[in-house]
């Protein structure tokens, strides 16, 4: 198991209502997992906890069997080696494509950065655009650059929060396929959240359905779609 979340309780500091209570989730290496749920169900909160941007009240998170957080340990976000791609995947506007991609890479070995950059540009087919600035490339191209920026540090996994919601409908389905292809090629474990069943069906190997902070069904995408365990889940996939 790559990620193990065990008996997690969490509430935001300014609120006395728990967003997650006794929350458990396992993510296997190499899987593309979609956390699917309505607005406010706790999707972003789960990602923020895995990334280390929030501290749980109780519970354990392990990555590759190493404790990231428990009652006595807290590994800081920058030390978790997780690639993060949030909704407003904003690239740094004053940096070129190449500079954006290499931003988080710390390896100082001679030639490493250039080699890594070339690999990543090849992966997204944007070798020619490396010296362009974000405003000089399309929305879909920006999305791909943001994805490889998250991959550049060779993370254990990448977390994506609604990665398609800023794209217009035409672009969305193309980018989904592109992104899935890129992720599959790298074999990297990916967790993304969405409220859109089409994102989940098109991309995810597995779906985790979240409602009011509880997982109400999870499993292989086809099984969830064909055998929803409740009216609620069936409703999510209707139409």
Ligand X SMILES: Nc1ncnc2c1ncn2[C@@H]1O[C@H](COP(=O)(O)OP(=O)(O)OP(=O)(O)O)[C@@H](O)[C@H]1O
Tell whether residue 163 is a contact of ligand X (CB under 6 A).
no
Chain residues 15-34 in contact with ligand X, contact rule CB under 6 A = 15, 19
Which residues are registered as beta bridge partners of 159? 84, 191
Query: Toward Mg ion, which CB reaches closer, 44 or 172?
Result: 44
In which residue are the tokens 């399309």 written?
138
Which residues are registered as beta bridge partners of 27? 3
Can you tell me the distance from the alpha carbon of 193 to that of 164, in angstroms, rounded to the nearest whole number? 10
Tell whether residue 45 is a contact of Mg ion (CB under 5 A).
no
- 141 phi and psi angles, rounded to 5 deg: -65, -40
Among 16, 39, 71, 106, binds ligand X (CB under 6 A): 39
Query: Toward ligand X, which CB reaches closer, 43 or 80?
Result: 43
Q: Which stretch binds ligand X (CB under 6 A): 41-49, 72-80, 184-192, 201-209?
A: 41-49
Q: Which stretch binds ligand X (CB under 6 A): 7-15, 55-63, 113-121, 123-131?
A: 7-15
- 87 phi and psi angles, rounded to 5 deg: -45, -55
Chain residues 177-216 in contact with ligand X, contact rule CB under 6 A = 195
DSSP three-state, residue 49: helix
User: 45 touches which of ligand X, Mg ion, none (CB within 5 to 8 A by kind)?
Assistant: ligand X
Query: Toward Mg ion, which CB reaches closer, 210 or 233?
Result: 210
Tell whether residue 44 is a contact of Mg ion (CB under 5 A).
yes
Query: Which residues make Cβ contacts (< 8 Å) with residue 60, sequence separation at least 6?
Result: 4, 5, 6, 7, 8, 67, 69, 70
Can you tell me the distance from the alpha carbon of 151 to that of 12, in angstroms, rounded to the nearest whole number? 29
Can you tell me the distance from the alpha carbon of 80 to that of 39, in angstroms, rounded to the nearest whole number? 27
Among 10, 44, 191, 236, binds ligand X (CB under 6 A): 44
Query: Toward ligand X, which CB reaches closer, 39 or 226?
Result: 39
Q: Min. distance of Cβ 132 from Mg ion in angstroms? A: 30
Tell whether residue 226 is a contact of ligand X (CB under 6 A).
no
Can you tell me the distance from the alpha carbon of 16 to that of 130, in angstroms, rounded to the nearest whole number? 48
Kindly list the residues in this chain that would bind Mg ion in the complex (CB under 5 A).
Answer: 44
């Amino acid at each position: 198991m790559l990620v193990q979340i065990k008996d997690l309780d969490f509430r935001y500091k300014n609120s006395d209502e728990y967003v997650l209570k006794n929350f458990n989730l396992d993510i296997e290496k190499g899987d593309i997992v979609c956390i699917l749920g309505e607005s406010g169900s706790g999707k972003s909160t789960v990602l923020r906890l895995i990334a280390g941007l929030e501290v749980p009240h109780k519970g354990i998170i392990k990555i590759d069997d190493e404790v990231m957080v428990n009652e006595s340990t807290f590994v800081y976000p920058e030390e978790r080696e997780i690639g993060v791609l949030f909704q407003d995947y904003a690239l740094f506007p004053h940096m070129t494509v190449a500079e954006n991609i290499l931003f988080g890479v710390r390896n100082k070995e001679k030639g490493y950065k250039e080699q890594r950059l070339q690999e990543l540009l090849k992966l997204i087919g944007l070798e020619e655009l490396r010296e362009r600035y974000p405003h000089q490339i399309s929305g879909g191209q920006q999305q791909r650059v943001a994805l490889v920026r998250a991959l550049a540090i060779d993370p254990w996994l990448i977390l994506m929060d609604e990665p398609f919601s800023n794209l217009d409908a035409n672009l969305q389905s193309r980018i989904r396929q592109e992104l899935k292809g890129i992720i599959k090629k790298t074999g990297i474990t990916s967790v993304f959240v969405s409220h859109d069943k089409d994102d989940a069906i098109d991309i995810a190997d597995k779906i985790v359905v979240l409602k009011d902070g509880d997982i109400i069904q999870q499993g292989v995408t086809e099984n969830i779609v064909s055998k929803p365990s409740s009216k609620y889940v069936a409703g999510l996939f209707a139409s």
